[in-house]
Structure 1
Amino acid sequence: MLLLPDEITGDLIGIVNAIDHHIGINKFLFQGAPGTGKTEAVKQLARILNREIFMVDFSSVIDSKLGQTQKNLSMLFKEINQFAQPDKVIVLFDEIDALALDRTNQNDLREMGRATSTMLKEFDRMNEDVVLIATTNLYQYFDRALIRRFDSVIDFNRYSQEDLLSIAEQMLDRYLDKLKLANRDIRLFRKIMKLMSKLPYPGELKNLIRTSVAFSNPKDGMDYFRRLYYAVCNEKPDDLKKLQSQKFTVREMEILVGRSKSSVARDLKEGVRDE
């Protein structure tokens, strides 16, 4: 299952319903920052709809020769419209930005502007049984006419901090299950994650949590907490006074510094006495 906010999940369910109704709604644009789950959502839709994904490599479509990019696009859509089983296909235009930027933008080459115009025409001629999904993280620069060609635009930036914290917990559970690590303390995990001023999107969260768990000492079921703290704070959890200021309990500090609870409590008291 994808780890997405309810609003985005609801939109994906709507896409499944729209495709199943067979009324010509077949072109979708997924926009959002890197790591928000756009490409993974396409894979999930393919599984639900029992369709095969054909990913377009735009590096082979764009050509420096005058007019060649337009010809390549025409050939591409000709192939798309000739699928033997169009109702079993999802065509993925991953990171469509290179061909979709605003034609009125002064920084946009005329050649690419003509290519975008060609794509507009080809969109209008597309086989309605083929599902086309494009992804972008540069939506604000998109050609408005191209946006209108899509039946729906799904915004993947709709993550609240609580959504991201919940997703982080589910990711942690998955990796701990894979490694058969039973030691879990969700309260401590949430405290560490909240030390970040702003939680990153799922793609970055996944890397942060996965490496913390994967690199942990297999003989120490709590080591991943220390590695996670280091990944979040860029320093080891050695400073008891700082941990105390971060609202960690003595028991939680015991886990983070890898020492006994009595030793932590004694050092904290001695620190207060020294002051």
Structure 2
Amino acid sequence: MKRADIVRLIRAHCDQDNIEFNTVAHYIAQEFESTGEHELASYIMSLISQTRTFVPQDFGETHVYLRPVTIDNAPLPLPECIAGDLRGIINAVSRNMGVNAFLFQGPPGTGKTESAKQLARILSRTLYIVDFNSVIDSHLGETSKNISSLFEEVNQAGKRAVVLFDEIDALALDRINQNDVREMGRATSTLLRELDNLSESVVVIATTNLYDKLDRALTRRFDTSVDFSRYTHEDLEDVGVSIMSQYASQLDFIRSDLKLFKKILHCASKLPFPGELSNTIRSCVAFSDPNNPYDYLRRLFEALSPSTNMSVASLSALGFTVREIEALTGTPRSTVSRMIKEV
């Protein structure tokens, strides 16, 4: 933690600037997370979340198209390039310069929706998600009318809210796409018009997995676009370690195997994005044999490196030690040593 961060934190507290205080505190938690001090990072985030609880007054009882979202304080490991973009968004919103519409694009499972949740928490705002089931209507012209009503609610929420259009492509297909129906083209046109009249006090975040399919006129309505596909292999290894560290705090048999876990991640030719990686790790731990404390590691290796033969020779060539090969294959160390010498 840098001296400048401490000074910013104290100054924000003295000035009662909650946004600046939360921004700096979150940045400090990220620094601890990046250095492997996961428990301390989680503790800081839990303290921050306790001071940011916001209960909407009346508005939550009257809205039709917006649904409030519960936000937890789970750590969100992100590459520095993406985390830097999110810090920029926080700075932009806190300066009240009318920069308030942001597009998060990238493959599924890259942290787009979770990042929107964390931004809402840091900005001390309630997060609302647009209920597309209520907006999209099969009757001709009704969807466009509903979009107009939706934005009345959005603008009414004002600076109390962050509004999330999760997978906005459900509303905004390319108007000139010949496969698009005319009704959805009208809906997209209405959406463009309403975004032009968006209140500067409300923060809107849209996510999409189909950025290339979106109408270009729509993407230009957003102040900035954040690409969530910018994960390196090393970034995904760090994500995996962060996920497994949470399980290690709950399950004793995991705590001593983090080094072997890291090596399994490192040896995988390609790691999935965080959402899928988290599901894979959770499944391997959940389905592992309780009588074999290393079974979850074997399952994980097979899931992440399905084309690699889990033989003693193959594992040795990848740099696994005799003890690690014993753990993964169940072959006694003496046998593993002998087999390696014979290769």
Given the two structures, how large is their TM-score scaled by the length of structure 2? 0.73
User: 1:253 is aligned with what amino acid?
Assistant: I
Matched, 1:22 2:103: no
Q: Deviations over 1:73-93 (max 9, x none)?
A: 11111122223xx21211110
**SS of alignment partner, residue 156 of structure 2:** coil
TM superposition shift of 1:219: 5.2
Alignment of 1:12-51 (within 5 A): 12-51=86-125
Higher RCO (CA < 8 A, seq sep 6+) = 1
Runs of 4+ in 1 over 6 A off after TM superposition: none
**Distance (whole Å) between structure 1 residues aligned to residue 212 and residue 258 of structure 2:** 41
> What's the C-alpha RMSD, in Å, of the aligned pairs?
2.0
Q: Deviations over 1:189-217 (max 9, x none)?
A: 23322443311110111111122223334
Given the two structures, how large is their TM-score scaled by the length of structure 1? 0.90
User: 1:126 is aligned with what amino acid?
Assistant: L
Greater shift in the superposed pair: 45-54 or 238-247: 238-247
**Distance (whole Å) between structure 2 residues aligned to residue 74 and residue 101 of structure 1:** 17
Greater shift in the superposed pair: 123-132 or 243-252: 243-252
**Distance (whole Å) between structure 2 residues aligned to residue 211 and residue 25 of structure 1:** 41
TM superposition shift of 1:220: 4.3
Alignment of 1:16-95 (within 5 A): 16-83=90-157, 86-95=158-167
- Other-structure match for 1:182: 255
**Distance (whole Å) between structure 1 residues aligned to residue 107 and residue 78 of structure 2:** 14
User: 1:2 is aligned with what amino acid?
Assistant: L
Aligned length: 268
- Kept in 1: contact 2:280–2:300 (CA 8 A): yes
- Other-structure match for 2:186: 114
Give % identity.
55
Structure 2, gaps ≥5 residues long: 1-74
TM superposition shift of 1:251: 2.0
User: 1:182 is aligned with what amino acid?
Assistant: R
**Distance (whole Å) between structure 2 residues aligned to residue 238 and residue 36 of structure 1:** 29
**SS of alignment partner, residue 81 of structure 1:** helix
- Other-structure match for 2:335: 263
**Distance (whole Å) between structure 2 residues aligned to residue 236 and residue 222 of structure 1:** 18
**SS of alignment partner, residue 257 of structure 2:** coil
TM superposition shift of 1:268: 4.2
**Distance (whole Å) between structure 1 residues aligned to residue 94 and residue 335 of structure 2:** 63
Structure 1, gaps ≥5 residues long: none
Q: For residues 218 and 235 of structure 1, do their structure 2 counterparts lie closer, same or farther at Cα, with a shift above 3 Å needed?
A: farther
Matched, 1:6 2:80: yes
- Other-structure match for 2:177: 105
User: 1:184 is aligned with what amino acid?
Assistant: D
- Other-structure match for 1:149: 221
- Other-structure match for 2:323: 251
